[in-house]
Amino acid sequence: MRAVSPRGHWWVLAGVLTVFLAALFLATSILRGVGEPGTDQDQEPDGLVPHSVSGGGPVVDTRSGSPVSLDVRPGTVALTFDDGPDPTWTPRILQLLAAKHVPATFFVIGRHVVERPGLVRAETAAGHEVGLHTFTHADLATAPIWQMRLELATSRAVLAGATGTSTTLLRPPFSSMPDAVNNRDWHAALRTGALGYLTVLSTQDGLDWEARNAEDIVRDAAPQDGRGAVVLLHDGGGDRSRTVAALGRLIDTLKARGYRFTTVTKAVGLPPQAASATRLDRWYGTALIGLIQAAVTVPPAAAWLLYAVALLTTARLLLLAAAAAAHRRRTGKRALPQPLPSVSAVIPAHNEQATIASCVRALLDGGCPDIDVVVVDDGSTDDTAAAARTVTDPRVRVVTQPNRGKPAALNAGIAHAAHEVILMVDADTTIAPGAVARLAASLADPSVGAVAGNTKVANRKGLLPLWQHLEYVMSFGLERRLFDLAGASPTVPGAIGAFRRSALASCGGISADTLAEDTDIAMALCRAGWRVVYRSDAHARTHVPTTLAGLWHQRHRWAYGTLQSIWKHRHAVKETGIAGRLGRRTLPYLLLFQLALPLAAPLMDAAALYGLTSGTTPVPAFTWAVFTLAQLALAAYALRKDNESLRHLWLVPPQQILYRLALCLVTIHALVTAALGAGPRWRNPSTTHAEARAHPATA
Amino acid sequence: MPARHGNRSQTIFLASGAVSNELLSPPRPQPTPSLFDDPHGHRRRLVTAVGAVVCLLCLCILAVAGSVLYADPRAPAMSPVEAVGTTPVR
């Protein structure tokens, strides 16, 4: 293969994955808040709180270091609303306030500002005052200093982004009246004061978050004896229908008592505490709002993607299991025709000195007496041809040619083959006794153009070959049964497959247009109207790559070749008969399960890993566990039906993590190299021993 | 001696040592350029540009997200800071 290996896409993938994980973290951890459920702090006043604060007014100014408490003028009421903006209740409250011509002060939560920046703009446009209520409703009294700074910085930024203003007004979440300020509240007030914020408490708590009805809210919120008041109500954080119902009555009641309504700053005699934000603050706030708005869409999008993937995967597993059972019933035990047809075996070989002789001998001893074997030495640099000639049998011929690639070697072998039935075998493959006869028997049906055999792994030592063994049995074997039932098999494995010479001729022989010549020819046969069937009892053992690099190169070639073949035969979608089955059944399956799903796999794995480690989203991890169990069951079923031992079953779960991930990355690499036009090619002598094998099924 | 089919550079042996039979059908011509080739590099440039933009976008997103850690938490300075019309308690 040509040594072209673009790498930039790995940076893109790393970037996308990092952003994806960051969005998940932001949406599921940061935006949930840390102190929202409440605090366990003592609500009694403590000794460190100055009396001027605990016995003073609702606005505490600690900016200068020495605390100043500001009280509300008599006969004045400042209505304040916390926890908004809320898409349901805030507009209703704004409407009511507008109707009553009453100004108010809204203490907004930053994450809700992100969700509804338009509502905050509507509040300021209507002449109301807006203050901060942190970003996640965190308890500043118990939060560490870094979190306090982060809460204030983000809420300040998004307010600037939404309204173009900054404010000094801060109502700490879980705060109450001045006489309830304790040591930790006081420390928090000192810290926020050092950052330039005024602490706004309340004098009347409507208790609308726990009130049973509107009358209770009016009773608790209304000040007595003409005293000034800062009234605490809520426009978010739950069902605020009682607040809305009580608000009109409260305003009417207090107006009837002669109260005047104003904002918090005016109520305590302060000048306006809002200032125009700098251009940089506005730009940054807008960017942050956009970023967070996008981030909150990631978890639901990932969940939907996960559900779709889980559904598709489950459907595939069920389909494969059902197909295996149906295929077994349909094929059953089949008697071999007598006499057996004459067979020509073609073995393309490139640097296969170690295995070629045993391959040839297995063919000669395979139970098919009338067989001729053509070994095509495709420019080997070792003694492959000499090794083949050590098998002294008149039925064996050895053809040597300069290295031209596997398709050319196969065509040369076909040209020298004597019989109508042509068996193609990889040089590192050992045919099982009876396999040749079984493949030839399937070609007794004149509609059959090719027969795929059942490839098994010969070198089952080490983790990588064992994983491939499981894959060959579980994935390739079951999929071939499915394709056989669907009436259009997309691959006749290069390791073992038999062809009708006239069928090959009708397709123009083996094409070198793609890197998966076995997939290409199978699809071409389907499009020419030939049936391509699967013979599960025709076994052959082949050697698989034992190193990760070898496996990577092999699978890259397979994936790239499959892409090429799908693209080359895409017009089968519009065709009829067997070609139509290929186009409308097999090709969509390949596109969906061998190309699209691998693209989604890294995101799914990242989401599952994140959910597992953070404990925030257990669904992906749970889905992944169920998926692995299903794979395990299917593997056990496939191994048993293929008369294989179950002792390697324990390798399935790690296979689903590491091996599957490696194959997904290979698919991504193949897609990118295809897009870049930088894929591998035939006809390069550097092709390694392991990667030169034709694949037993599509990647 | 093995027989040579000169123009095809193929040498055919029988394992028994005899010379081969002749070709039954001619080998197929060499393939056309491989599918997905991009001889002029237009697609490569386009895909590279898209990849670079995606990478840049990711970096921008991460930069904005990361900058939260360094965002200024301070409120704007207001003047005058003293309340008027009320009695501050010190």
- Mean pLDDT over B29-44 rounds to 73
Query: Is A314 exposed, middle or buried, given 0-12, 13-18 or 19+ CB atoms closer than 10 A?
Result: middle
Helix (H) and strand (E) counts for chain A?
Answer: 26, 20
Q: How many residues does chain A have?
A: 699
Contact at CB, B68 and A674, closer than 8 angstroms? no
Residue B19 pLDDT greater than 70, yes or no: no
- Mean pLDDT over B37-58 rounds to 91
Q: Which two tokens stand for residue A287?
A: 């960017």
- How many angstroms away from the CA of A555 is the closest CA of chain B? 18
- From the candidates B22, B45, B47, which should be mutated to test the interface with A, based on the most A CB atoms within 10 A? B47
Residue A506 pLDDT greater than 80, yes or no: yes
Find the angle CA(A36)-CA(A38)-CA(A44) to the nearest 5 degrees.
140
- Mean pLDDT over A238-260 rounds to 93
Out of A167, A399, A510, the one facing B10 most closely (by C-beta) is A399
Contact at CB, B88 and A515, closer than 8 angstroms? no
Q: Strand B3-5 and strand B10-14: pairing?
A: antiparallel
* Nearby residues of A290 by Cβ (< 8 Å), 6 or more positions away: none
Confidence of residue B90 (pLDDT cuts 50, 70, 90): low
ipTM of the complex: 0.78
Find the angle CA(A110)-CA(A204)-CA(A89) to the nearest 5 degrees.
45
B49–A contact, CB cutoff 8 A = no
User: Is the Cβ–Cβ distance between A393 and B16 less than 8 Å?
Assistant: yes
Please say whether the structural domain A60-269 has been given the CATH code 3.30.360.10. no
B7–A contact, CB cutoff 8 A = no
Query: Residue A355 — φ and ψ, nearest 5°?
Result: -115, -15
Give the lowest-confidence range in A93-107, A122-136, A483-497, B11-25. B11-25
Contact at CB, B15 and A392, closer than 8 angstroms? yes
Task: Determine whether A234 is an active site residue.
Answer: yes
Cis check for the bond before A339: say yes or no (omega within 30 of 0).
yes
Contact at CB, B58 and A16, closer than 8 angstroms? yes
Contact at CB, A398 and B15, closer than 8 angstroms? yes
Nearest to A265 by CA among B81, B41, B23: B81
Percent of chain A with pLDDT over 90: 63
In angstroms, the CA A3 to CA A23 distance is 37
Number of other residues whose CB lies within 10 A of the CB of residue A629:
12
Nearest to A616 by CA among A358, A263, A298, A390: A298
User: Is the Cβ–Cβ distance between A401 and A377 less than 8 Å?
Assistant: yes
Q: Strand A165-167 and strand A274-276: pairing?
A: antiparallel
Nearest to A496 by CA among A296, A697, A690: A697
In angstroms, the CA A487 to CA A585 distance is 9
pLDDT at residue A608 in the model: 78
Query: Residue A492 — φ and ψ, nearest 5°?
Result: -115, 110
Q: Which residues in chain B have their CB less than 8 angstroms from residue A270's CB?
A: 83-84
Confidence of residue A335 (pLDDT cuts 50, 70, 90): low
B29–A contact, CB cutoff 8 A = no
* Nearby residues of A689 by Cβ (< 8 Å), 6 or more positions away: A351, A352, A428
Between B35 and A388, the higher pLDDT residue: A388
Contact at CB, B73 and A195, closer than 8 angstroms? yes
Query: Residue A589 — φ and ψ, nearest 5°?
Result: -60, -45
Contact at CB, A150 and B69, closer than 8 angstroms? yes
pLDDT at residue A693 in the model: 41
Q: Which two tokens stand for residue A28?
A: 């599921």
Contact at CB, A677 and B72, closer than 8 angstroms? no
Contact at CB, B65 and A22, closer than 8 angstroms? yes
B6–A contact, CB cutoff 8 A = no
In angstroms, the CA A551 to CA A663 distance is 9
Out of A15, A68, A167, the one facing B90 most closely (by C-beta) is A68
A183–B contact, CB cutoff 8 A = no
A74–B contact, CB cutoff 8 A = no
- 3-state percent helix, strand, coil for chain A, nearest multiple of 5: 50, 15, 35
Out of B15, B48, B85, the one facing A391 most closely (by C-beta) is B15
- Residues 663-692, chain A: which have Cβ within 8 Å of B? 672, 674-679, 681-682
Residue of B nearest to A270 (CA): B83
User: Is the Cβ–Cβ distance between A28 and A300 less than 8 Å?
Assistant: no
- From the candidates A70, A273, A399, A671, which should be mutated to test the interface with B, based on the most B CB atoms within 10 A? A399
- Mean pLDDT over A543-554 rounds to 93
Q: How far is CA B71 from CA A151, A168, A372, B66, B75, in A?
A: 10, 16, 79, 9, 12
Query: Is A457 exposed, middle or buried, given 0-12, 13-18 or 19+ CB atoms closer than 10 A?
Result: buried
Contact at CB, A401 and B37, closer than 8 angstroms? no
Q: Which residues in chain A have their CB less than 8 angstroms from residue B59's CB?
A: 15
In angstroms, the CA A406 to CA A400 distance is 13
Out of B34, B41, B68, the one facing A150 most closely (by C-beta) is B68
Confidence of residue A5 (pLDDT cuts 50, 70, 90): confident
Give the lowest-confidence range in A1-5, A229-233, A275-279, A493-497. A1-5
Contact at CB, B55 and A271, closer than 8 angstroms? no
> Which of A128, A133, A137, A234 is an active site residue?
A234
Q: Return mean pLDDT, chain A.
A: 88
> DSSP code of B6?
G
pLDDT at residue B10 in the model: 53
* Nearby residues of A377 by Cβ (< 8 Å), 6 or more positions away: A349, A350, A384, A385, A388, A398, A399, A400, A401
Query: HEC states along A57-123?
Result: CCEEECCCCCCEEECCCCCEEEEEEEEECCCCHHHHHHHHHHHHCCCCEEEECHHHHHHCHHHHHHH
Find the angle CA(A691)-CA(A562)-CA(B39) to the nearest 5 degrees.
90
pLDDT at residue A531 in the model: 95
> DSSP code of A659?
I
A62–B contact, CB cutoff 8 A = no
Residue A599 pLDDT greater than 90, yes or no: no
In angstroms, the CA A499 to CA A396 distance is 19
Task: Tell me the range of A37-51, A637-651, B11-25, B69-83 where mean pLDDT is highest.
Answer: A637-651
> Can you state the angle between helices B42-67 and A660-676, rounded to 10 degrees?
130
Q: Which residues in chain B have their CB less than 8 angstroms from residue A418's CB?
A: 21, 24
- How many angstroms away from the CA of B34 is the closest CA of chain A? 5
Between A181 and B31, the higher pLDDT residue: A181
pLDDT at residue A681 in the model: 65
Out of B18, B32, B83, the one facing A70 most closely (by C-beta) is B83
Between A307 and A157, the higher pLDDT residue: A157
B1–A contact, CB cutoff 8 A = no
Contact at CB, A415 and B24, closer than 8 angstroms? yes
- Mean pLDDT over A414-440 rounds to 92
- Mean pLDDT over A453-457 rounds to 94
Out of A26, A411, A514, the one facing B35 most closely (by C-beta) is A514
Out of A71, A398, A567, the one facing B86 most closely (by C-beta) is A71
Tell me which amino acid residue A76 is. Answer: T
**pLDDT tens digits, one per residue of A628-680:** 888 899 899 889 888 899 999 999 988 888 898 899 999 999 999 999 887 77
Confidence of residue A291 (pLDDT cuts 50, 70, 90): very high
Contact at CB, B73 and A509, closer than 8 angstroms? no
Residue B20 pLDDT greater than 90, yes or no: no
